[in-house]
Structures are given as C-alpha cells and as structure tokens.
Structure 1
C-alpha cells in the first residue's frame, strides 16, 4: 500500500505507463499537504493546504493583480510557499524509473526528496516539468517530499512575462503532482503526426538505447476495436530516437464538428518481447498554413469563431476542476464557437482532452503578456509546452507570446519540436504569414485586411467591458470582414469576468477595477446579453432576412456556414404560437423537417409543411438542431404587426369595460378628469400627465410625454370633449413632435398619439418620449417584444420576439458581483408590442400600435471604473418609448469605430411620407384579461 498518496494509477502491469498521484487530480479532488507561507496572511506557521491550489484562495500570502508592480501604494507579495508531504514507495518499485512530475507551479520551484535536491530549480508557472528521482527514493519506506515555491521568480524575464501581466498573479502548486512509474526501458517522448488521409508518423525517443529494439503501434477505434498495426524497423545501434511511419485506410478524420478520436498502443519490444507499453489518444487531422491564402485543416479553409479563455474560477483561482473545464467548453459550443485561444499560457491537460473529445480548435500559447522570456529560460519552456500538448488534435496553432511577449530568437525552438508543422503565430503581429492585429476597427486596414494578401485573424477582437463589446458590433464586423478572401476569423476578448474571492476581504469578489471584468459570462458563468448575440451571429445555420406574415408559404432560405457538416445531418422544427391577452404564448401547431442537402458554403431553400391558418398565431418559431441533438439557434418572428395585436387586445378589453361619463374640473394649473373609478390630472402648460389614481389610490405614473432626443418648445395646449364623449388634449411643439394628442375614452382607456418624425435631423442618439415612475415601486415587468435581454443599437441579434417576464434587479453588468442577476432589468428593449409594469401600486399596462418601437426602462447604473465607450447616453425620465436608441462601444473603442449599426442616426422626411406615429394605449384599472 502507498500511504499518504492520492492513489490513482494509469496503466496496469509492470510494463505499462503508470501514473500515481501525490496530490489530488484537480481542484475538486485535492490532498492536504503540510504548508507554510513566508509572508502575508497566515505566514510563518505550518498548517495544511490542499494541493493543487493557489494559496491566496485559502487565506495565505498576498493578493496581487499583475499591474500592482506599477503601484507604489500596493504591497507586491513575493512570498515563498513551503510544502512538505510524506509518501511510501513499494519495495517492488526498485529497479524501475521513477519521475516526479509537476503540471504547474507558480513559479520558481525547488524540489527536495529525502533532504536531497531533485534537480535544478524550475522557472515558469504554467508548464509541466519533471525530475528523475529513482536514486533519491527509499523503497519500502517512507519518503519526504519538500517543495519551495517562490511566487516571484529570480529570473527577471519570467517576472516580466508572467508576473507583471494583465491578469491575477497567484502562488502555489496549482496543478497536479504525480509519480511516473516506468520500466527500465521506456519512451520519453511519443510525438504523433497523424494526417486526415490516414498517414501516420510518430517520433519516439527512449530513455536509453536498447539492444535489438523495435516498436509496434496498434490502432484502436473509439469503441475499442482493433483497426490495424504498424511495425517499425529496429533502433539504430546506440540511438535512442526512431520515426515510425505507416498508414490506416479506414479512419475518420478529426474536426471540431465530428471529433473522431483513436487510441494508439505503443509497444517497445526487445528481442521480440514487449518491455514497455503506452497508450496515446489522438485524432487524424492535418493543419497547413497556405501562403497568401489561409489556414487549412483537413484541406478545408478554416474560419475561426473563437474566444480567449483564462484558466480561472473565483474560489480556486487557476486551479480548476473537471466541471470547470466542461462548463466552459459547453458554453463556448452553445455560443456556436469552434475555437478557443489559451490566454496567455498553456491550459490544464484535462481541458485539452475535453477539447479533443467535444470538438474545439485550440490556439496554445507560450506565456509572455507583453514581455518575453529570455533565451535561457524561454527554450526550456517552449519544449515543455510542446511536449505536453503536442498530441492533442484540438491544438492547431502555437502562439509565441502575446502583444510583445516574445523573443524572436526563441522561435527556432518551436520549429525543433513542432513535428506536425503547426503554424507559429505572434498575437498582434503580421508575421509568419498571418495578420493577427488586436482590436482592429471596422474599417481596418490599409495594406492589411482591406487590400492585404495574408490571412487576417485578430487573436483579440472587440474588447468587452461591462455590457459593451463582444456582441455589440460583431454582426457588422463579421459581415464586413467575411467578404475579404483573406479573412480567417477571430477571437473575442474574453470568455469570463475574472473576479476573485478575496479571503482577506470577507470573501467579497474583486475584479481589480476594470482590469478583470471583461467576459461574455460572469465569474460564475452567468450569461450576459452578448452570449445570445454571438450565438445567433455565429450560428452555422444562417437564415436569409425575411418577415413572416399570414402569407408565409413555409419556405426559408438556409445558408450553411459549417466547415465540414452538411445540413442534411441537422434537424429542424417549428412552432406556431398565439397569445391571449397579457398571457404566455401557447403552441397552436408544430412540426419537424429533415435537413436538406446543403453543403458548407451553399444556400438552398427548406420547405416547411405549415398550416394554412397561420394568421391565427402571433409568433412563428423555428429551431435548428445539430447532429448531436443540441440546439443551434431558435429564431422567432412576429406574424402580426403591433397595430394588429393592439386591435385584438383592445377588443378584449373593451368588451369587459363599461362606459361612463367623463367629468372635467378646470384648476389653475391642471385639468382634473374623472371617469368611472379613474382619476387623471393633466398639466395645462405642457400637456403632461401629472397624476393618475384608481379608486382614489394614487398611481405614480406621471411627467410625460416628455419629448427626448431633440430640443423643442411647447407652442400651445388645448382640450375639448368630442362627440363620442371622449376627453381630448392636444399639445403643439415648435420642432418635434408637431403634436401630441391625448384621448381619454368613456371606458377609461387612455390613448396617446405622438406625431411622426416629419422633419430632418442628424446625429441622433435617441428620439421619442419619456414618462416617470419611481424605481423603488417597481416589482417586475412582463412584455411582448424582443427579450429577455436588453439591446443596444449595435446589438439587437440574440434577442427574440416573445412574451417575456423578469423581476426588478439593479445589476451592474460585470461589476455588481455580489448580486449578478441576468437578464438585467434596466435598459433598452426592442420591438415592443405591449408591456405590463408590475408595481407596488397597480399594474400599468401599455399597448403600442407602432412597429419597431423601443421600450427603455430606467438608467442602468454606471460601474465605478468606466472606460472607452461603455456608457451610452439615456434620455431623461424613467420609462421611454423610442424610435431610436444608441449603440455601445468597447473598452478601447468608442461606438463610432464599430461599423454602420454603431453610428448615430439621421432623420429624413419628404412631404407626403406616411410615417408611423407613436401610438400608445394605457390601462390603469387592472382590467386586462
């Protein structure tokens, strides 16, 4: 028995590769080691620390963000972590080779076994390193492991590359530690190069030369069936390296849409006897950078739809669990991404295994945020990065640092170990045949994308901050860039907010101002609005723009933007939905359709068998599902226009209301109107609704309609009772609107009509009308329109027409980590049909007849650390009904740099135009069905 060891073995028998864990396998399965930190919180005392972990997340040492080295007011923690762990080694291991392996330790790491050094100190945080400790062990006895981990390196270039970076700086053994138990002769490297054609090559190195040795490779399918085998020639005398080659004719290639994996059993034979076995899981796939063309995988030109991902979880730092990896990959796949960039270091072994099996392209990166490793440490770390990750088919590109984090002299080491000849790129540079410029503008760039001749692939795109970036502007960028033959995709910055739990601050979440909150999802993977925008824009099934009306014949034009998958492998379904009053949608009819034969890049029609009475429904919903049964995207279209929905609702309402006699009392500053149990006060100076009451109880809706978006003055206010007994009040303005007309019906319903945009103007942020209602009295809202997330002018995709409902919240996107509730309540909402504002008083119900109207709910609070273009303007008032809303920018770019939908709007009018007025109906009596 091995005592004091997290005992988990890979491989069985004396000749197989064995892995025995001294730590836990990941952050969810740890082993406590003795621990002492030299400085900071809880320093100077031996206690226990789970391994793997970052010690700050367990109350030790000092928290630092990478920029802290610039701030004289912040203590820069340079503590050491001292580890001790006892373990037994079986006597039968004597005669074998025993390696101790560290998958990641931050950063300078000295390893002592039984008071003797295991080897030279390792420098560099994110890399696998190992020591042969065969001669240091006591077999059949207890052994003592001691590890000294320095949070900061003695090598200045390591600090510049890793410790002075734009991310959290942690300390500790944050990835597993294990023993490799190996026979006397074994492979030290099994590097596979397996092409999509079935061609198979493997470079094998031995720990020492072997007499009359050769290698057999047996290939197994995912189901475990034997596919075939290859037998090598003998090793040359006194040589410990061999290339074995062959081919397999019946394989299926690997790609992210169909990630077929195989297992190769490598057997080392000496004089015909197997002396060592090791299994490698891999995929057959080819990667090629074609000059002045693009990046090809399996002869298919690739468009990367990707995101940057840090290894991060709020409560465990960079020590992650299986579930953390799975959740991140699932969310990326749900957004219809096909790629992920490792920013800015190699990931956990398990993350790449899951990318292999679930299907994602990976850009694997040598650390160097904006400064490089030197030519002493750098070559060692290049080797460690490649040898750990080289057999993963998901890894298609090596990144040599980031934004200046490279020393060009170290590139040769990539070429030395890179047997698959993967492209080697420099994120932000135009170099090695690829232009990876970070944060390009919409109109980028002279002699680059617009008329350049090298593949263009921004490895950081649309730097998000709070609710800006990511989805905002992405549709314009993608459409514009995609028409260029050199466009090869891009990687959004970044996947998740990186707010860390501060054990030194009562477990609050800290994002170091606006440095860490950049994500499409929150720190606990809460989905922001851009999540669904990206999901629609990057859907591999695209639908040609169209409207759905009662004349819809069931034909939809589908474009296949997959790289490898025919749409005949997908399924499609539809639903015809109806609404009744202010209720949820109901399914009237539904159906399915098999995917048509549409190859990647083609557009063809899909014919749906839909009912003839489609006009009975209000919403037509269409869902695309992939060959694994996962939803690709669901599109919703309104069948009826707002005036048609309004007509149906008003018919229902009026059938339940009794007519009464309107009473008007003229007061000095107002007109007091009573009808049935309702009371209204209108301002005689400006025509605003000043007071509302029901059954003599006040309803605090008032202060409008206030014209917003343009300067205007009241010219005249007049009122009368018309021949139907309705109260009418008209206000005339000198610019917009020409006229506002209130009409209070004898039933108690209140109609508002604001004359259309019968003028011309430029540089419009928003335009329409506003009202007031106290925010502290709002409980929630139910509405028909786009939802459930808010929209911006340049981020309307991903918000679909439906009946939605949400409770009031005060979420500050990417900032209020103590109470992140999504979707956010406040903000702009698109394509309004009707709304029910739920309050502490009575429900306020509003119906519009105007197509394309935006509903604005209050003003979202600005985060403390605003930057760039992420704080768009809002109109005065609390609740607005608008023809136009503003766009939102990114951390680095104002909105006007993000494309056509991010520009301020103009109004153009010609005499005779029939423009849409804003028409609203208000019910304050709680009588809607």
Structure 2
C-alpha cells in the first residue's frame, strides 16, 4: 500500500470490525484518552519509522486526545459553508495535506483478562491509519463514525504497548463530509481498549414496541450469542431472541421519557440497557409516536465548544440537553452526522426526539453542477452504504431516535437509494428522511429547507406544486411534512417564528421542524492586547471562507441564550394561556401525552410596572390537547397602566430544571389609560446671544439643535434612518436589503436646516435629509415648547420628499448625552431587545439595565439592543440625576456607548470602543428582522414603509 493510496480509497475500512451497537458492558475497558505524543507535518508522505515501539518520541510535543490539533497551535482552523477548500478530483486530495502523527504508550491494568480485545476510535477527522506495537491494524474513515480493530494478536499482556496513529486532514472521505462547519482535524473523540471475553456479547438489538390501543408492550432483545435478557421491573427473564408480550407498560416519549433498566448476560459478560417502549408510525399521512401525532419543536445541533471544537465533553452535552428542555425544545436533528453516543443516551434519559443523521454531505458539488457527485457515482456505493450501516448499528437501541436521515445536501442518486434500501431492510421500525431529493423517491417523510410561510401553508393544504411523475407526486402528497431547517438563527433574529408555528399547529400534515441552528460556532480568540472575542471564517487567514456564516445559532458560543432562543421558547410553549372572551382565561394543554399536574399556575399584578399583588390559580388537570376555562382572580383596583401576568411553572424539580421554572406565560393588559395631554407652557421663550431657552432646554438658534438640558450637555436631535445591517439584512443566502439601502444612500444621508423659527411659545426647526445623487429624501420638522412642569416637549413630524423606496431601516431621532449617564430605566417591553417581528419573550414592565448591559453581543456587530413600546425612560448616572423621556405614544429605545455608524463599521465586538457619549435613539418605527440570512425576508406586516410618522416626546430632568 502506498502512503497516498490508503486515504484516497473509495472503499470502506477493510480491516475494521463489523459495526455494532455502542454498549455499556462490564467487560474491562481501558480509556486511552489523555496526553499523547504528537508530531505535525504539512504533508502526509512522511516516514513511517514512528510506528515501531522502539522509536524515540522524546522530542515530540504533547497533544490531548480527544482534541483538534488546529486548536492547539498546529495549522489553523478554516471555515467554509459549501465550497471545498481543495480541488475537486475524487478521490484524490492535495499533496499539501496537513498530517498529525500520534504515539501513546500504555500498560494493561492488573487483572486484564486474556483473550480477544478491540481498539475503538469514536471519531477521527478525517482518516486515520493505526499501528499497535508496530503491527498495522488498518485505517479508518468516516470522521464521526465509530471504528473498531481487533488487536488480540498485537496486544502485549506485559510491558508497554505503543499505539501509533497517522491522521490526515484530507482524504477521500472529505468529499462526503462538506458539512457547513470548521474544518478541524485530529482524534477528537475518545479511544478505548475493550476486552472481548470468550462467550462475551458482541452486539445487542432491542425492539421495544408499544401498542397505544391496549397499553401493552412487545419486547424482543437479540444478541449475537446465546444470552438472557432480564427486566426486573417488568418481571422479564427470557432468552435473547424470544418475543415477550407485556400486558401493560409505560411508554417512552419526549414528554415522559420512561426507561426500564435491563441486562443482557452470558456467563462471561453482562450488558446494561435502558429500554424505552414506543412505536413510530405513519398513519394516514401523519407521523405518530405511540399513536399520537408528533409535532417537532426542534433545533439542528452541531457538536461544538468555543475552545474544543467538536471535542465536546459530557458536561457540554448535558448542558445542551438541559437548555433545550428549559426552552421548550422537544427534538433535535443531529446535523449533519451522528453525535457522540453519550448525547443520545442523554436524549433517552431527559426526553428529546432525535433525527439521527448519517455522516454525509456533498454540498460543494453544487458549485460544479454536481459532476461526479458521490450520491450518484457507483464508485462510492459501498462507502456510503457503510456509513449508513455504521450509523444505524451504533444507535439502533435508542428510543429517542425516531427517524433516520440519509444525510444532508448531497443531491440525489443511486447511492442514496442504496442507503435507503439497506436502512429500511435493517430497521423497518423507523421512517427515513432526506431533504435534498424533493421527489421523496427513497424516503417516508417529505422535508424541505427555508420555505416561506406561504409555501409551508400550501404544503399543509396539500396544494404544493406537483411533480412531473404522477405516481411520485401522489406518493409524496400522502407523506407527512417536516421543515427540516428553517428560521436561520444568524445574528439578530430570527423573525417570523410565531407565524411558522401557527401553520404547524393548524395543518396536521405539517409536523413542525428544526430551527437552524443550536449554537454559534465562534472560536474563542484574543486581540493583541488580550481582549476576548469569538472568531469566525477569515479570522485565521483562510483564502477561501464564508465569514461569519458559521455563527448562526440560538446560543452564543459560550452557551449563553440569545434573544432568539428566548423567543423560540415562547413560540414553543406547550401550554397556551389566552383570554377566554368572557372575563376569564382559557388554558390549553398542547402536550401530546401529558396532563398539567406537573405545573403550578401563578399570577402577578403590576400597576405602572410595580408589583401590587400576586397569587396562585387553581387549574384542574387538563388532558393532552384539551382546554379548560379558569376564572381570573379578584384583583385590587389599579390606577395606572396595569398588567396581569399568568405563569405556568414546574411544580417540582425535574432533572432539567428546578421547581418554579417557567414553562409558559401570558400577559394581559388591564385598564391601560391614555396619557394626559401635555400641560401648556408656563413661560415664554427667551433668546440669549444665538441661543434659545425653552423650559429646561437650550437650543442653538442657527442649527435648531438642543445643546443643553438643565446641567447636561446634549447634542441632538438628528434624524436617524440607518441601522447597522443585521445578518438578515445582509442576507448572504436570501433577499438582501442592505444593498438596496446603500444604493439608495440611506447610509450616507446629508442634513440641511431649512428654517429655524422662534415664536413666543416655541421653536420650529424644518430640515431636509437626503443622500447625494438622489431627489428623494425626508423632511423632518422639530417643534419645541416648554411644559408647565418644567419639562420640554418635542414633536417630530417626518414626511417623505420625492421618491424614497421602502422599506426603510428605521425612523427616529438620536441624541448624544454625556457618557456618564450610563444607567437606563424604562417602562415598556423588556427586559430584552425587541423588533417588530421579534421580542416575543418580552413583557411590559419596569426594567433597569446599564448601557453596557443593553448591548447584545452578536459575533458580527449589527443592529441590536432596541427596547420596544417604551412609555418612559430615564438615563441617569454620574453623581446622580439625569434625563427622563416620556412618549405621548410608545416609542422604541436604544442606548449605546457608540454610534450606529461605528457599529456598522465593526467586524468584531472588540472593534467597538466607547466614545464618551451615550447615544440615545428614540424611534417611531423599525423594519422587521426576518430570516433572510438563509430563508425568507421580513413578512409584509413588519416592513417599515417610507411614510409619514410622528414622535411626541417630553424631556424632564431627574
């Protein structure tokens, strides 16, 4: 075998052991994880002398296993979404092929039995060649798939054993692993030595079916050797292979993840299992679990950590699962490869439906019109079927796995059909899914990505565009639909979540979907002066990259929930609390198989943002899918704008959250009153050397700008139309607004004062704001007057002049305040940011944040931090005191330590520096956010037209 040919082979690993389930056994297992000796090279054709036990590796570095070598200073990470970072000439790869040589010495522990042993690699990217004590064991490909080698003949019972591994970054397997993530290499999952005693259990298969009509279960546990299966809680003690019928079992579901402990034993080995009884069927075009329609409230999850890449720990996985449960997520698609096996065990235990995806994506072939795409190239058939085999065999015993996915974005062709045939024959208990072949020739579930709301509704109605083949068209129309990726969670957003969910809940054929995606893939980095940020594509000198498209998650890289995740939790609420129309509440149980006895219902009454009363609601247990009417509590009288918040919270601790954790909530307005008309001016306007005194304000008579408010220096107002474009405005894979806005000159407006008129009771300032080379613009008229309570009133009327195409980014005014005013309190929606189609998780109340805390740290700086429907706000700090703003009608509020223009220019948060001011923006409207970074743009109701608006504000000193 040449040094090049082994990693450029179409064939599956020829000497690997047959794929089998990942088992928890009492047979001895030795973890080989830890610090290994490591040598890095830029090519894969280096000498093989390191494979012998006597080789002196004292001069080599040390590298943790599991890990990626790029994250330890060898080579560099690189990110591409679609394009391959090497020429397409399968199965060949470049000679410049970064390579890591590993060596690890170990001794068998006392008591290690004689007989067979296997060496297990859980994940090595992208191909590895393995020697033990100088004996070549073989090679492995399939980066995120398990490979085992028989090491019986090479293993030494006494003395040191030396394991040597060569890992290459590029291999034939790289052509089918183009999965929209960092290209990272190395042994990134654990390595184990496992004893295989004579008479031991090589493989186990569990079939645990549930009959939702009778409540009974059927259990068949098969093993590759004669063995007995025992389930003490059910009184089962049977030979493996025997079918046991149980008159009554508790089923497993994501809501009630009931597991039964079981063992499979021979005289030589015992395997421990956790069995969940459940059935997955397609009945009448509807996907059911345990006889009931399932609605996926899901996310797509890559494995990721900002310091370790895909070398995630159990703590990382557990945090993901708990966060998903806490945010009402019930399902996860393992994009785009099988996850670490422990993640599936946690999904079994905590309750998450799983779409388990094969380690396959060939998206980059789209850029060459799919020539030689592995999905339809017969040279790849064995390798791709092997990948499906290894996925199914490893994960077949997990009740959480309800669908197999053939892979992602790999076109269509004969090899996908071969994978489907194999999987369907091997495991008929789970339906198959694959998105990219829209004929659905080889699958059981129709799925698509990033469809508009209108397209989704058409599918729900069964009115989608027909296929050319009538038979295939009829077959597809009889399938359930899953929106396998939607609501691209990149940067600020996504918008449109509630509208999607409404459709999923309306049409039985629509069975929910999976938001793209769970976590931003930003790698932790530092500036030269030590400030931390999260790096994205291009930050490591890549010639070819896709920028911050790698940061499109609901979690920031450090696993802090984004505003988008909080919105998703609200949209996914399994309990709906709404006004009943007759003075009460309707509580609807959206669970599939759980009542509401696990929840307590609480209420809080706030008057003007102050809590005045609280209590509990008595709610009877509500069966799944049903509703109950509940009387509102007797409430005390309120004198201002009052709101009643009703919460459904956990009544007791759950494994994923403590008692009191909020599952669902609603807020009802009670007797909100219109603010009174502003009081008349108490004093006349006074001129003083080019300045005009209006109440507590001082205006420049030449510019009409406010220069002082009481003792505070102020500069403003200035019409604000521009916002730092969001990822969805830039829309790398959707309909972009940013180029239209820049073409219209909205980022380079000039301001002209046409007239400043000073009257006996006020000042009127007329301005025109427009870009160069355009006859369109905006007319802004500012009318200042004094208020009787020593306040200052500003009415801003904004009108359109000439042709100014919409939608506009925003319409408002910005003031520069002293930077020492760095604390903000407001009455409006909060505590987080909100835009016309986001902020679903916010509530009206009285909130407080520092200016720094009001910034949302998106990896790529962009418009953020707006608070919506604000009635009043104070900006205070320094030695005390500050400014209060009241709105005649609610307004949008943003407070920043830098300008929108500075935000626009920044590439990372560390590029932003406080400039000594607090920039206070008060807006009459903002354009929505949408999901156009990859998907549909802003829905029509949330577009901001180029049309007249008014802001009516009052300023006072505090």
Counterparts of 1:447 and 1:705 in 2: how far apart (Å)?
42
Counterparts of 1:375 and 1:730 in 2: how far apart (Å)?
77
Residue in 2 that maps onto 1:433: 444
**Post-superposition CA distance 1:804-849 (Å, at most 9, x none):** 22223499867548xx9xxx99543211111112366975433435
* SS in structure 2 at match of 1:259: coil
Among 59, 62, 74, the alignment partner of 2:73 is 59
Among 229, 236, 245, the alignment partner of 2:236 is 229
> Kindly tell me: are residues 902 and 19 of structure 1, through their superposed partners in 2, closer, same or farther at Cα, counting changes over 3 Å?
farther
> Kindly tell me: are residues 810 and 801 of structure 1, through their superposed partners in 2, closer, same or farther at Cα, counting changes over 3 Å?
closer
Contact 1:476 1:900 in 2 (8 A): no
Residue in 1 that maps onto 2:534: 509
Q: Offset of 1:325 from its aligned partner?
A: 0.8
**Post-superposition CA distance 1:674-718 (Å, at most 9, x none):** x6xx45226478xx4432243xx4421423688999999999865
| 2:464 is equivalent to residue 443 of structure 1 | no
> Kindly tell me: are residues 862 and 703 of structure 1, through their superposed partners in 2, closer, same or farther at Cα, counting changes over 3 Å?
closer
| 2:937 is equivalent to residue 923 of structure 1 | no
Contact 1:570 1:595 in 2 (8 A): no
> Kindly tell me: are residues 184 and 532 of structure 1, through their superposed partners in 2, closer, same or farther at Cα, counting changes over 3 Å?
same
| 2:490 is equivalent to residue 465 of structure 1 | yes
> Kindly tell me: are residues 755 and 334 of structure 1, through their superposed partners in 2, closer, same or farther at Cα, counting changes over 3 Å?
same
Residue in 1 that maps onto 2:791: 749
| 2:137 is equivalent to residue 122 of structure 1 | no
* SS in structure 2 at match of 1:255: coil
Residue in 2 that maps onto 1:32: 35
Q: Offset of 1:746 from its aligned partner?
A: 5.0
Q: Offset of 1:81 from its aligned partner?
A: 1.9
| 2:708 is equivalent to residue 692 of structure 1 | yes
Q: Offset of 1:637 from its aligned partner?
A: 4.5
Residue in 1 that maps onto 2:247: 249
- Within a 5 Å distance, the mapping from 1:845-856 to structure 2 comes to 845-856=883-894
> Kindly tell me: are residues 324 and 714 of structure 1, through their superposed partners in 2, closer, same or farther at Cα, counting changes over 3 Å?
same
Q: Offset of 1:778 from its aligned partner?
A: 5.1
Residue in 1 that maps onto 2:360: 368
Contact 1:560 1:602 in 2 (8 A): yes
> Kindly tell me: are residues 774 and 756 of structure 1, through their superposed partners in 2, closer, same or farther at Cα, counting changes over 3 Å?
closer
Counterparts of 1:145 and 1:620 in 2: how far apart (Å)?
66
- Within a 5 Å distance, the mapping from 1:67-146 to structure 2 comes to 69-70=84-85, 78-89=97-108, 93-118=112-137, 120-146=138-164
Counterparts of 1:620 and 1:445 in 2: how far apart (Å)?
35
Counterparts of 1:504 and 1:100 in 2: how far apart (Å)?
42
Counterparts of 2:705 and 2:154 in 1: how far apart (Å)?
87
Counterparts of 2:338 and 2:348 in 1: how far apart (Å)?
15
Contact 1:809 1:825 in 2 (8 A): no
Among 572, 576, 592, the alignment partner of 1:538 is 572
Counterparts of 1:76 and 1:468 in 2: how far apart (Å)?
42
Counterparts of 2:37 and 2:766 in 1: how far apart (Å)?
80
> Kindly tell me: are residues 497 and 638 of structure 1, through their superposed partners in 2, closer, same or farther at Cα, counting changes over 3 Å?
same
Among 598, 607, 616, the alignment partner of 2:631 is 607
Q: Offset of 1:391 from its aligned partner?
A: 1.1
Contact 2:536 2:548 in 1 (8 A): yes
Residue in 2 that maps onto 1:623: 647
Counterparts of 2:337 and 2:23 in 1: how far apart (Å)?
29
* SS in structure 2 at match of 1:491: strand
Among 476, 486, 493, the alignment partner of 2:509 is 486
Residue in 1 that maps onto 2:174: 159
* SS in structure 2 at match of 1:610: coil
| 2:274 is equivalent to residue 281 of structure 1 | yes
- Within a 5 Å distance, the mapping from 1:577-588 to structure 2 comes to 577-578=606-607, 586-588=610-612
* SS in structure 2 at match of 1:680: strand
> Kindly tell me: are residues 847 and 811 of structure 1, through their superposed partners in 2, closer, same or farther at Cα, counting changes over 3 Å?
closer
CA RMSD across the alignment: 4.1
> Kindly tell me: are residues 260 and 681 of structure 1, through their superposed partners in 2, closer, same or farther at Cα, counting changes over 3 Å?
same
* SS in structure 2 at match of 1:564: coil
Q: Offset of 1:492 from its aligned partner?
A: 0.8
| 2:863 is equivalent to residue 830 of structure 1 | no
Residue in 1 that maps onto 2:931: 890
Among 261, 264, 275, the alignment partner of 1:263 is 261
Q: Offset of 1:171 from its aligned partner?
A: 1.4
Residue in 2 that maps onto 1:476: 499
Counterparts of 1:441 and 1:811 in 2: how far apart (Å)?
32
Q: Offset of 1:519 from its aligned partner?
A: 1.1
Residue in 2 that maps onto 1:418: 427
> Kindly tell me: are residues 205 and 826 of structure 1, through their superposed partners in 2, closer, same or farther at Cα, counting changes over 3 Å?
closer
> Kindly tell me: are residues 756 and 705 of structure 1, through their superposed partners in 2, closer, same or farther at Cα, counting changes over 3 Å?
closer
**Post-superposition CA distance 1:143-195 (Å, at most 9, x none):** 22222222222xx3x11111x44211111111111122232112222111112
> Kindly tell me: are residues 803 and 133 of structure 1, through their superposed partners in 2, closer, same or farther at Cα, counting changes over 3 Å?
same
**Post-superposition CA distance 1:63-100 (Å, at most 9, x none):** 2324674479x999622222222222357545433222
> Kindly tell me: are residues 76 and 615 of structure 1, through their superposed partners in 2, closer, same or farther at Cα, counting changes over 3 Å?
farther
> Kindly tell me: are residues 134 and 479 of structure 1, through their superposed partners in 2, closer, same or farther at Cα, counting changes over 3 Å?
same
* SS in structure 1 at match of 2:517: coil
With normalisation by structure 1, the TM-score equals: 0.79
Q: Offset of 1:632 from its aligned partner?
A: 0.8
Contact 2:713 2:818 in 1 (8 A): no
Residue in 1 that maps onto 2:692: 671
Counterparts of 2:162 and 2:527 in 1: how far apart (Å)?
32
Counterparts of 1:159 and 1:769 in 2: how far apart (Å)?
50
5+ long unaligned stretches in structure 2: 1-21, 47-56, 88-92, 364-373, 465-476, 538-546, 723-745, 769-776, 909-917
Residue in 2 that maps onto 1:911: none
Q: Offset of 1:862 from its aligned partner?
A: 3.4
Contact 2:354 2:401 in 1 (8 A): yes
* SS in structure 2 at match of 1:752: strand
Contact 2:210 2:218 in 1 (8 A): no
Q: Offset of 1:729 from its aligned partner?
A: 4.1
Residue in 1 that maps onto 2:6: none
Residue in 1 that maps onto 2:542: none
Among 321, 325, 332, the alignment partner of 2:317 is 325
Counterparts of 2:849 and 2:942 in 1: how far apart (Å)?
28
Contact 2:97 2:170 in 1 (8 A): yes
Q: Offset of 1:455 from its aligned partner?
A: 1.8
Residue in 1 that maps onto 2:699: 681
| 2:509 is equivalent to residue 497 of structure 1 | no
- Within a 5 Å distance, the mapping from 1:716-735 to structure 2 comes to 727-729=761-763
Counterparts of 2:156 and 2:750 in 1: how far apart (Å)?
86
Deviates more, 1:526-535 or 1:133-142: 133-142
With normalisation by structure 2, the TM-score equals: 0.76
Contact 2:299 2:517 in 1 (8 A): yes
* SS in structure 1 at match of 2:229: strand
Residue in 1 that maps onto 2:209: 195
- Within a 5 Å distance, the mapping from 1:397-408 to structure 2 comes to 397-404=403-410, 407-408=415-416
Q: Offset of 1:32 from its aligned partner?
A: 1.4
Counterparts of 1:504 and 1:151 in 2: how far apart (Å)?
28
Residue in 2 that maps onto 1:236: none
Residue in 2 that maps onto 1:590: 614
- Within a 5 Å distance, the mapping from 1:294-373 to structure 2 comes to 294-370=286-362, 372=374
**Post-superposition CA distance 1:551-589 (Å, at most 9, x none):** x95x2222222222223432111112345xxxxx54322
Q: Offset of 1:335 from its aligned partner?
A: 2.0
Contact 1:496 1:518 in 2 (8 A): yes
* SS in structure 2 at match of 1:833: strand
Q: Offset of 1:537 from its aligned partner?
A: 1.0
